Each structure stands twice: as C-alpha cells, then as structure tokens.
Amino acid sequence: MTSQTVLRLLVIKVRSVALNFRNTAISTGKYPFPVKNNVVPGSNAIGHIISIRKGNNRLGGLIDSVLREYVAVLPAAVVNLPDSYLSYSQWASVVSNTVLYLGTERISITGIVLIEEVQKITHGSGVDYIVENGGGTIKQSLEAVAYDGNIAVIGFLSPSFQHSMPDVAGLALAKGVIVRGIMIGSKQLLEDAVRFICARNMPVPVEKTFKFSRD
C-alpha cells in the first residue's frame, strides 16, 4: 500500500443492529477485555449502501461500532445479501450466531449429562470439534473431546473461577487437543454462512426487537 493509495468507504444507512451477550457485558462493566471510554456499541448490523466515498490513505481508524444511524466502512467489512425471506433483524444477528452446548450461563448438570451422552453416542471416543462458550465449562469440553480433537473458545458466557479451573495444559497435552480462541470469523466464512442459510431456508431466532430510541 503506497502513500498515494486512496481507500473507498461505503456509507451505509443502518436498518438493524444485533445486540448480543458481548454488548450486555460491555454496558454492565463485565467485559473481560479493554474497552475505551464512550465506545459505540454493536458489532453486527445490516443496512443499505447509499454512497461510496474516498477515505484516507491509512489503515485503521477511530471508528467504533454499528449502533448508529449511518456508518462508513471499508468494502472488506461488508457482505452482500441476496433477496430472502429473513427480516433485517434476523440478518443482523447472523454474524453472532454460535452453537453453545450448555443450556445455562453457569456450570450445571446439563454439562455432565451431555458428556455422558457424547461418550455414549461416540462409543467412548469423544467428538472431534467442540464450540466452547466460556472458561467455566472448559473441563467438560476437555472430557468430551476426542484424541487429536479441536476446541474453539468463542466467548465468555460461562464464568470461570481460579479454584475450580482444571489443568488445561495437562489435559490438552494428554489428548493432543488444540484449544484455540476465536474472536470472529473471516468474511469468506460469513459469505458461506449466508449462502447456506438461504439455500436451506433456515430460520434465524431473534428474541426481541427495539426501536432506535430511548423508549
């Protein structure tokens, strides 16, 4: 990238923004990572491109997130959506969709029962891939994963406490397991997810919607 490079910015009128557990954690001071003062919340949104403008010639910037009426973003941050049966609110939540194996936010009997069921279904060999929702359930994931398996840590929904944490390094070494933290997927993965959802007419659950106001 040379000093003469001019970036294009897409100006988007936001139609809907997804609010998930991360946004709740930030607003209540429970987010485990640094957050700057007066940050604009929201990670995922859907809208219409209303104009294309020239940006500056530097990578990065001070733009926060998407809980606003208009945003200006790089084309690499945007995925085109086809005509479909889903609403704005449903599409806005697609990026944050994850599969969690525990039914509650805290360690519960659900995790223990599921481990037993996993071992039963796989004849004791465990599963190859696990999506782990937080540190508090890592022990169950390590017990349910197969040898040479993979555990993707995708959040912090289940709290962890130092006195109850297992020997993650030892258990991972014993099974040859890869434990990888994932903050967000790539644009290509999102495009694949959009095609998959449209091809199968999959429903996308949205618990509640709010207007863009204080009401």
**pLDDT tens-place string over residues 20-58:** 778 888 888 888 778 878 787 787 888 888 888 776 555
Confidence at residue 176, expressed as pLDDT on a 0 to 100 scale: 92
Q: Kindly state the percentage of the chain with pLDDT values over 70.
A: 75
CA angle (63, 34, 215) in 5-degree steps: 60
Asked whether the beta carbons of 42 and 65 are under 8 A apart, the reply is yes
List the one residue out of 94, 55, 91, 95 whose CA is nearest residue 71. 55
- Span 60-77, mean pLDDT? 75
Token pair, residue 81, equals 């959506």
* DSSP letter for each residue of 99-144: --S-SSSS--HHHHHHHHHHHHHTTTS-EEEEEE--GGGHHHHHHH
Sequence-ordered list of residues with C-beta below 8 angstroms from that of 1, at least 6 positions apart, any chain: 57, 59
Per-residue pLDDT reduced to its tens digit, 141-174: 888 888 888 888 877 766 666 677 778 888 888 8
Task: Specify the range with the lowest mean pLDDT, choosing from 79-83, 112-116, 171-175.
Answer: 112-116
pTM over 0.85: no
Q: What confidence tier does 114 reach under pLDDT thresholds 50, 70, 90? A: low
Amino acid residing at 91: W
Helix and strand numbers (H, E) in the chain are 6, 6
Domains in the chain: ranges and CATH = 8-78 (no CATH), 108-181 (3.40.50.720)
